[in-house]
Structure 1
Amino acid sequence: MSPSAENVAIGLANVERFRVSDAAFTGYGGLGAAFAGDWIVSGEFVRLKMQGVGICFDLAFLKSVRIKDVVANGADSDGQSGAGQMGEKCFSTIQDGPLASHNRTSIAFRQTKDVTVENLDASNFRTGVAVASGKGYRFINNNIHDNPGGVTPGVGYYFYYINGGKFSSAGAPVSDVEIIGGKVSNNGPRSNGFGVLIDADTIANGDRMQDFSVSSVTFSNRTNIRTVGARLTGVGLSKNSFDGALQSSP
């Protein structure tokens, strides 16, 4: 495959009541993905190992989906992991405009809702978790660590808004997000990486990113939590702990 093409191990489209478990993936570095797809309802991905992948989950339009017990390490398009050699992102969701009218499931919905990611260990990606749309996310006891970033700083959890284009977040800004427990460490360069980055700065309409909760998380040795933009409300922090030096939050 070309380095600019996404080779995918398992593609999903209009899938309901499913389970994928006890599988291993390797050889999908760079823009490659273990899973990619749209319109995914009432199912789970459980006990998976991903070695040297570019993207773990490249998804849109999920409802009532659980991801649990996944270990993933990123790699570049040559399948290499190391200094300057990393995957793109482990868990990613967007609003996929070109396929927005292609729902053939039995459930009517317009944006991702009710997703749980639990016990995910993600390392060596530019970004561990990248969420651009939807609501009702629960991230529980994950270990998001050593994601170095590239031209831009590495980020553990990145919640953001796409303004315009095929994957516009308009009408479906990220909201109702909980990060509970787990550890976020060593994401990005020492001086300017982020554990959690909530970025509403590109919103130029009436949308608002809102209702984020971060609790009982251990942060270690990076900028911990940063919020950006005026179109953001309702960020709650409680019972978090901070190991090491260079600790900061909003």
Structure 2
Amino acid sequence: MDTADRTGTASRPGFRELEPGLPELKPGLRELKKQRTRDALLRAALELFTTQGYERTTVDEITEAVDVSQRTFFRYFAGKEEVALFTQRLAESHFLAAVRERPLHEAPLEVLRRSVVESWDTIGEAIEAVIPIELHMRTFQLIESTPALLAVHLRHSAEMEEEIARLIAEREGLDVDADPRPRVAVAVFGGVMRVTSRLWGQGEDISVEAIRELTLSYLDNVGPALAETWRTE
């Protein structure tokens, strides 16, 4: 069986056991080494995915690039899919945090608009702590162009939209199951994000600035598209 298809039975983060006779590491140093190992595996995997393709990359190739065992890989990640989507999940968490911090006087769609703009303005620092932002953007494009990853990403996006809708309802003092407006607003926002992600992924400029400007231009047209007559005659 191809090692790329394995799923780990111990997916929680860990680190290789110390060799017999070696002294115990201090907790702070041990955690730092664990983080460095995880980040090295992540970076190696994403570099391989974005240069030779997700499907063609095996777990063996990833572990060989970092000079660790498969056992070590599966301590950090359940499989290739989790690695490929890791920084996208980080970006989504960054966006959710921005939503939670918006002032209560802002209207729901304005909250979402400002949160996504703020996220694109500040995501570099969050991602750069793990991998180069340029590699994250290439991975984002990879997800958009890889059916297996895109399917998982879209399923997760639907779950995230429900979480956002409940968060918006809570902000507005509404029952999300009794009032359709939070889910409607988030569905509109989510649709715009899907369109802009697809268009951005098909373009040549895959920079943060490019997707930020494209997203803004589409979000700024939500109101006119829904509420105004388009005909000029």
- Decide: shared fold, TM above 0.5: no
Higher radius of gyration, 1 or 2 = 2
Structure having the larger proportion of residues in helix: 2
TM-score range, shorter chain: under 0.3
Higher relative contact order (CA 8 A, sep 6+): 2
What is the TM-score when the length of structure 2 is the normalising length?
A: 0.26
TM-score norm. by structure 1 comes to 0.25
Larger strand proportion of the pair: 1
